[in-house]
A and B are shown apart, each in its own frame.
Chain A
Amino acid sequence: ETGVTQTPRHLVMGMTNKKSLKCEQHLGHNAMYWYKQSAKKPLELMFVYNFKEQTENNSVPSRFSPECPNSSHLFLHLHTLQPEDSALYLCASSQEPPRGGGETQYFGPGTRLLVL
């Protein structure tokens, strides 16, 4: 689709489970993002990585732990989640990090997460 892939596409987990979401971009971009999309709420930026370094943590609870081993891969490690964490988690990338210059972000298809 867009050069950004996410796995798994769907995930059901209990509150005591530990799981990881994976994102890979094949576009040679330097910046990667995690967003959370809940029903009837705006898209929420969670984390921003630039050249593998985290540059933004948007007050995300510690039960969400990002990892960026290289500029092509981004993970979101999940543990002891709550039912209200159920949402669509979207990964995106852009050539450069956001600096007000109008970088287009390219999104993956998302992981639909349900926490029971």
Chain B
Amino acid sequence: SQQGEEDPQALSIQEGENATMNCSYKTSINNLQWYRQNSGRGLVHLILIRSNEREKHSGRLRVTLDTSKKSSSLLITASRAADTASYFCATEGGGSQGNLIFGKGTKLSVKP
């Protein structure tokens, strides 16, 4: 299985601090995506990084990918209370096996 495994499972920080979440996976991938889920709601796509990319930015988000270590990190800078949510990485393999495989997620709590 190329399931992503996020860590930590839960993270609690103060507003203004940075939050870093990590994802590890098991097999080769074509790309890795990060999604966010507010409690009991659907997932929202945040950012995609392809296997030939090492770093990508989108606003306050920074994603890195290390294919040699089969890991990715999501950094949220200057966090806000509204960033409170669960964050999931999802890996997509190659060829016909392109279905997204999600991890269990990191539950982030940002205290005002």
Which chain A residues have a beta carbon within 8 Å of chain B's beta carbons?
A: 1-2, 4, 6, 40-43, 45, 48, 56, 88, 90, 92, 97-110, 112
Docked-complex contact A107 and B43, CB < 8 angstroms: yes
Q: Which of B35, B41, B45, B96 contacts A99 (CB 8 A)?
A: B96
- In Å, the complex CA distance between A97 and B96 comes to 10
How many chain B residues sit at the interface, stated as a range, is 20 to 34
Contacts of B3 in A (CB 8 A): 42
- In Å, the complex CA distance between A101 and B29 comes to 10
Docked-complex contact A110 and B41, CB < 8 angstroms: yes
Residue-wise interface mask of B (93-109) relative to A, using a CB-CB cutoff of 8 A (1 in contact, 0 not): 11111111111110000
Contacts of A6 in B (CB 8 A): 42
Q: Which of A1, A40, A48, A102 contacts B42 (CB 8 A)?
A: A1
Docked-complex contact B100 and A98, CB < 8 angstroms: yes
Docked-complex contact B95 and A100, CB < 8 angstroms: yes
* Given A43-B102, A112-B40, A100-B92 contact (CB < 8 Å): yes
- In Å, the complex CA distance between A40 and B43 comes to 16
Q: Which of A4, A100, A106, A110 contacts B97 (CB 8 A)?
A: A100
12 additional A-B residue pairs with CB within 8 Å, beyond A4-B42, A48-B99, A103-B98? A6-B42, A42-B102, A42-B105, A45-B99, A98-B92, A99-B96, A99-B98, A100-B94, A102-B92, A104-B48, A107-B43, A108-B42
